[in-house]
Structure 1
Amino acid sequence: MYQLWKDKELCDVSLSVEGEIILAHRIVLAALSPYFKAMFCSQLNEKKKFQIVIQDLNPQAVKIIVEFAYTGSLDVTEDTVQVVMQTATMMQIPAVEKLCSSFLVKNLHPSNCLGIRDFAHVMACFELKDTADKYCEENFSEVSQHEEFLKLEVEEVIGFISRDSLKVAKEEEVYAAVMRWVAYDPERSKDDVSLLMEHVRLPLVQWDFLIKEVSKDKLFVTNKDCRQYLQQARAFQASSFHPDLINFAFNEAITRSQPRAFFSAADRLYLIGGESASREILSEFESFNPFTNQSKQLPPLPEAKRSLGAAIVGKIIYAIGGATISGSSRTVHAFDIDKQQWQSRGSLCEARSSVVVSVVGGEIIALGGHGSEGVLSSAETYDVELNSWSLLEMLEARSMAAAAVIDFRLYLCGGYNGCEDLQSCHVLDTKVHQWSHCANMLEPRSLLGAAALGNRVYVAGGCSQDKCLSSVEMFNPSTNEWTLVRSLTGPRRGLGLTAFGDMLFAAGGHDGKTLQGTILKYSPHTNEWSCVGNIITSRGRFGFL
């Protein structure tokens, strides 16, 4: 039939679309489309006519659909797909609609996803609409930089920025998107700024950004509502140091202080496994809410472990390696935050206790540790999609170390090499997987904590030649220098250290005499540590993130 059509043989109908003639066979068109079947099989005048005039349709789209009737193959481009889909909808050809929808899904881009979403809504193609909307949500920072977003009505912008599920790494990205929308058409947006800022979660932006960027924008000087939102955000953050402000901050800004779901899923701090005061290996798993300073028990780790590594990718927490009652372990478990369930994952290539674990660009890296034959000089990278590990060499063997990540550079600090506590710090450029040296820490440390905050690396506590440390050091990559900052409130080894917002949090550990159950918070703005809560199970040498 296709060859007959190509050769214009035995064609019994001529479609005239805007003056363009398309020859075809009635039986083929009727088999394809109820629209044509009704035309050729009813008592309409077109039943007996050879040439039929088709009104209000695009000739190129009709020709593409006629060719599909013979070949089953749809030849569309970004320029033609929408008009073909519209034509297929009118002609009641679901197969063509589905192929067009699939084409649009494959070609979703931050510059066109809003237009595709709106087109799908008009076409009542709800599956495509939902897919495009989800794409916009998951790529919001990029989408908000394109003209489609900048031309949205204020209600549509609010529809996005009010979502808990908006996939942004930090609230500063939402603020920047709103300010771009405002700047695109200042006259249009002058009356809508306060409506938008009501849904920007200013209490969650970093203090420096709040003071140096937000508070200096003229909107927060001239607009009364925006000025109030700024005051609430400042009060909320300052309430950590001035408790008399806490009622004002929480009562007025509570809805804007709730983290979005994709803030690295870190609306909590998590403590996994570890060891008790009697050196019992633990499976206990708990979270700590930095906004309410409350701890919560979570489903226990399937296997009791100490000296394990922990990482979070998306909304999955990984508990990696560690030591069980049988010795160093290769096992990996993953906890789904939404489902509140643990599952097994691909095992490490080598058993590792006292292992360091970090995440760089969505890739998990497990470094060093103690294996079956002593301290390890290898690392492993984990591919989340393939659920598999691959080996990577380090510059020297070390366990009981700590690491922090700035951009794509991982700083591996201190540790123990089997003979002595280490003072050295090595840097892994994860883009090329190459190691280099940076300045040594001011003193040797093993069983320390490390975290990155504001383009600085912090190390805290640990031990040096059996001495338990309370000192804290800060590394500036730009100057390659370590400097001392305010010490912990007491010595701690085997502690956890992590960054949340623009603060550091230290938890647990051993002071040389007893285990600690307090959680400390450090502000780089005041250079002060303060106790903000307690963990449910006092522990040391645990996974912390």
Structure 2
Amino acid sequence: MTGKKRESLVVKATDNGIKINNKNVGGLVLDGFYNLWKDKLLCDVKLTCHNEVIYAHRSMLLIYSDYFKAMFTIGLSESSQSMPQIQLDETSPEALKSLLLYMYTGSLSVTNDTVQDLIVLTDLLQMRDVKEQCFQYMEKSLDVTNCLGMWNFAETYGSTTLLVKAISLVKRRFPVIVQTEEFLNISSSRLEKILKFEDLSLGNNGEDDVFKGVVRWLEHNVTERINCFKDMLKLVKLIHVSSPVINELKQMMFMQENLEIMTSINFQRSTDTDCPPRHPIQCIYVVGGYLQSRTGPMCPRLKTVERYDFKDNVWKNSQTLPVLASGVQVFNIHGKLFTTSFEMSHGDSLMPDVSSTPGFYEYDNIQNIWKDANDCFAPSAAKVIHDCLQKSGSLAVCPRTNKIYILSDTDLYCIDSSVNDGEVSFSEAEQLPSLQELETYSNHSTVIHKDNLFVLGGDRRISASEIFPVASVFMFDCSENKWITKTSMQEPRARFSAVLMDDYIYAVGGFNSRRLRSVERYDPVTDTWRYIESMNKERSHFKCVVHLNKIYAMGGKSYSRYEGGARKVLSSCEVYDPETDMWTYIAPMNQARCLFGAELF
């Protein structure tokens, strides 16, 4: 007996003698069977896969596989044959060899190249645990370039989790998915299922993206698909498709031979006037922030992330940020959620006690993880965003163009974005004309209205001890590339929240000599401001988000009692309904926070 085998034996005395146990009996048997298999000794079953023959032991097969257990134990013809031959052409020889190696060694290597074949094989052989692990691995590679194929695969081989995640991704990033090669090759029945979704997330272009996607799918194979095109168009909400996009279809060559399609479109647009637009299922995400009223660079900060469910009126905890970040800003671009994440540390020439490292994360809601997104941002883009937040500047995203505008002191920058295979990248920062009047301004708010940037209020610094909130409003005309002075707000305010809703700009709360409850609304057409109903609670350093024509205000700094008392950080939230001109409390956040990021996603 070798030393290794002797060491595995455990001997215990009994009343009648001794009891010998082998601690490694499982490994010994497995190693023995592996060596027999490797040397093709005592094999009693022949597996063939695409003309390749692989020998094995039926006893090992039936231990792992319910399929083989039934074959060899309930009287099927294979059970009585000395060397049955079993055809397994549903998969690849490589996958079959890998799975047999797993049976004999307990180790299975899964790669992107083999995972689908392994799922097909484990589904056939009824090896449910291994199949589930393969599906979990497959989920990690789910993206916009393959989600339609994975949807089909999950339906065929019965993975509810992958199916739900694939459909969720299709809904959330539909405008990007229609640009992929995979979309062009989907079946008409699959496209029909997608068009029936009322909760497609369409972005600023709305139903135009749906219409263009259907036309693009048709153009890929006009001959075979023209007959079902009219049926597909019935599932498009044509009343919400813009006239210029409809007119583009008229000019296409295949339309000259199918004039009845245009007649059908015009009829549908004239009769479906009450057809509601699609509404994606979205949540408000709040990210990071400070948990105390002191918001210096090294004051206690939060990693926590929460999301608000509109339907259930409840806040749920989401995946936390990987770092304790300062100056958190969150933005939704091309259907992806990004956040700034500048970690603070000691020692900086601008701020002797602290410095910060530029950082960005992207939230993957399918996998529920925050992924490092630093490589998505060009160096100058990262720098100007970092500098802007260090100087208490502001940034705004244009929903139509997916451009980010960054205002820091007098400097204005624009960062463009693009999508390649579903991944978003941000260009180098382009400097735009500056505005000298903003030289000493900070803590202002910015809003995009019809592609133009509005800069509202803020603090004007006269000296280190003289800081005054202002009511001024400036507009940068992006088409003319120039600044225009607009009518000032009714009262000065800084550290407030500004949002666009129904073509009006709302300035909400903030701080001048004290924290504010007041809210005012700006009409860009008449260049006038007017007060609307005030919030229930004074708020500064907070966020507002618009959803379905309502304004949601969350958290911030306030007072311990009505219009006075000690400073307090809020968890409370309230919603403004313009139809009733009233603010109503909704469920509070799980964590009080101020100076945080918030976005609809």
Amino acid aligned to 1:317: V
**Quick one: distance in 2 between partners of 1:401 and 1:451?**
13
Match of 1:450 in 2: 446
Match of 1:240 in 2: none
Match of 1:497 in 2: 498
Q: C-alpha offsets along residues 91-118 of structure 1, whole Å, 9 cap, x if unaligned? A: 3332443344345334434343323322
Amino acid aligned to 2:476: M
Q: Is the 8 A contact 1:330 1:348 kept in 2?
A: no
Q: Is the 8 A contact 1:461 1:468 kept in 2?
A: yes
Match of 1:51 in 2: 83
Amino acid aligned to 1:181: W
The alpha-carbon deviation at position 450 of structure 1 amounts to 1.6
Amino acid aligned to 1:260: P
Q: Relative to structure 1, is the Cα distance of residues 94 and 182 closer, same or farther in structure 2, using a 3 angstrom cutoff?
A: same
TM-score by length of 1: 0.62
Matched, 1:8 2:40: yes
Q: Relative to structure 1, is the Cα distance of residues 358 and 323 closer, same or farther in structure 2, using a 3 angstrom cutoff?
A: same
Q: Is the 8 A contact 1:74 1:96 kept in 2?
A: no
Q: Is the 8 A contact 2:517 2:534 kept in 1?
A: no
Q: Relative to structure 1, is the Cα distance of residues 182 and 18 closer, same or farther in structure 2, using a 3 angstrom cutoff?
A: closer
**Quick one: distance in 2 between partners of 1:162 and 1:519?**
40
Q: Relative to structure 1, is the Cα distance of residues 467 and 33 closer, same or farther in structure 2, using a 3 angstrom cutoff?
A: closer
Amino acid aligned to 2:174: F
Q: C-alpha offsets along residues 430-471 of structure 1, whole Å, 9 cap, x if unaligned? A: 989999975432524455322244554321244667684444
Aligned length: 444
Match of 1:316 in 2: 285
**Quick one: distance in 1 between partners of 2:486 and 2:354?**
33
**Quick one: distance in 2 between partners of 1:348 and 1:78?**
31
Matched, 1:260 2:291: no
Of 217, 231, 254, which residue of structure 2 is paired with 1:181? 217
Q: Is the 8 A contact 2:452 2:475 kept in 1?
A: no
The alpha-carbon deviation at position 346 of structure 1 amounts to 7.8
Q: Relative to structure 1, is the Cα distance of residues 81 and 409 closer, same or farther in structure 2, using a 3 angstrom cutoff?
A: closer
**Quick one: distance in 2 between partners of 1:113 and 1:397?**
36
Q: Is the 8 A contact 1:154 1:192 kept in 2?
A: no
3-state DSSP of counterpart to 1:260: coil
The alpha-carbon deviation at position 214 of structure 1 amounts to 5.5
**Quick one: distance in 2 between partners of 1:70 and 1:347?**
40
Matched, 1:340 2:374: no
Q: C-alpha offsets along residues 13-45 of structure 1, whole Å, 9 cap, x if unaligned? A: 334566543322232223232333344445444
The alpha-carbon deviation at position 408 of structure 1 amounts to 6.8
Q: Is the 8 A contact 2:173 2:201 kept in 1?
A: yes
The alpha-carbon deviation at position 362 of structure 1 amounts to 0.7
Q: C-alpha offsets along residues 299-338 of structure 1, whole Å, 9 cap, x if unaligned? A: xxxxxxxxxxxxxxxx312473498389995444754212
Of 440, 445, 458, which residue of structure 1 is paired with 2:434? 440
Give RMSD over aligned pairs. 5.1
TM-score by length of 2: 0.57
Match of 2:582 in 1: none
Q: Relative to structure 1, is the Cα distance of residues 166 and 375 closer, same or farther in structure 2, using a 3 angstrom cutoff?
A: farther
**Quick one: distance in 2 between partners of 1:500 and 1:460?**
16
**Quick one: distance in 2 between partners of 1:514 and 1:540?**
6
Q: C-alpha offsets along residues 256-302 of structure 1, whole Å, 9 cap, x if unaligned? A: 1x64234xx5xxxxxxxxxxxxxxxxxxxxxxxxxxxxxxxxxxxxx
Match of 1:364 in 2: 340
Matched, 1:133 2:167: yes
Match of 1:223 in 2: 265
Of 231, 234, 238, which residue of structure 2 is paired with 1:195? 234
Q: Relative to structure 1, is the Cα distance of residues 134 and 387 closer, same or farther in structure 2, using a 3 angstrom cutoff?
A: closer
**Quick one: distance in 2 between partners of 1:228 and 1:73?**
63
Amino acid aligned to 1:120: A
Q: Relative to structure 1, is the Cα distance of residues 31 and 488 closer, same or farther in structure 2, using a 3 angstrom cutoff?
A: same
Of 401, 407, 412, which residue of structure 2 is paired with 1:412? 407
3-state DSSP of counterpart to 2:446: strand
**Quick one: distance in 1 between partners of 2:110 and 2:187?**
31
The alpha-carbon deviation at position 178 of structure 1 amounts to 3.7
Q: Relative to structure 1, is the Cα distance of residues 21 and 461 closer, same or farther in structure 2, using a 3 angstrom cutoff?
A: closer
Matched, 1:483 2:525: no
Q: Is the 8 A contact 1:111 1:147 kept in 2?
A: yes
Q: Is the 8 A contact 1:451 1:457 kept in 2?
A: yes
**Quick one: distance in 1 between partners of 2:507 and 2:243?**
26
Q: Relative to structure 1, is the Cα distance of residues 66 and 212 closer, same or farther in structure 2, using a 3 angstrom cutoff?
A: same
**Quick one: distance in 1 between partners of 2:233 and 2:352?**
58
Match of 1:24 in 2: 56
Match of 1:239 in 2: none
3-state DSSP of counterpart to 2:493: coil
Q: Relative to structure 1, is the Cα distance of residues 85 and 529 closer, same or farther in structure 2, using a 3 angstrom cutoff?
A: same
Q: Is the 8 A contact 1:334 1:343 kept in 2?
A: yes
Q: How does 1:90-169 map to 2 (within 5 A)?
A: 90-152=124-186, 156-163=190-197, 166-167=200-201, 169=203
**Quick one: distance in 2 between partners of 1:13 and 1:145?**
49
3-state DSSP of counterpart to 1:493: coil
Q: Is the 8 A contact 2:448 2:454 kept in 1?
A: yes
Q: Is the 8 A contact 1:346 1:387 kept in 2?
A: no
Amino acid aligned to 1:112: N
The alpha-carbon deviation at position 11 of structure 1 amounts to 2.0
**Quick one: distance in 1 between partners of 2:132 and 2:321?**
37
**Quick one: distance in 1 between partners of 2:48 and 2:499?**
70
Matched, 1:69 2:103: yes
Q: Is the 8 A contact 2:239 2:269 kept in 1?
A: no
**Quick one: distance in 2 between partners of 1:79 and 1:386?**
26
Q: Is the 8 A contact 1:410 1:427 kept in 2?
A: yes
Matched, 1:474 2:476: yes
Structure 2: state its 5+ residue gaps.
1-32, 251-260, 345-349, 362-368, 375-381, 417-424, 463-467, 545-601
Q: Relative to structure 1, is the Cα distance of residues 38 and 472 closer, same or farther in structure 2, using a 3 angstrom cutoff?
A: closer
Q: C-alpha offsets along residues 186-214 of structure 1, whole Å, 9 cap, x if unaligned? A: 5144312542222x7939xxxxxx46546
Q: Relative to structure 1, is the Cα distance of residues 151 and 21 closer, same or farther in structure 2, using a 3 angstrom cutoff?
A: closer
Q: C-alpha offsets along residues 493-512 of structure 1, whole Å, 9 cap, x if unaligned? A: 33532345866433346899
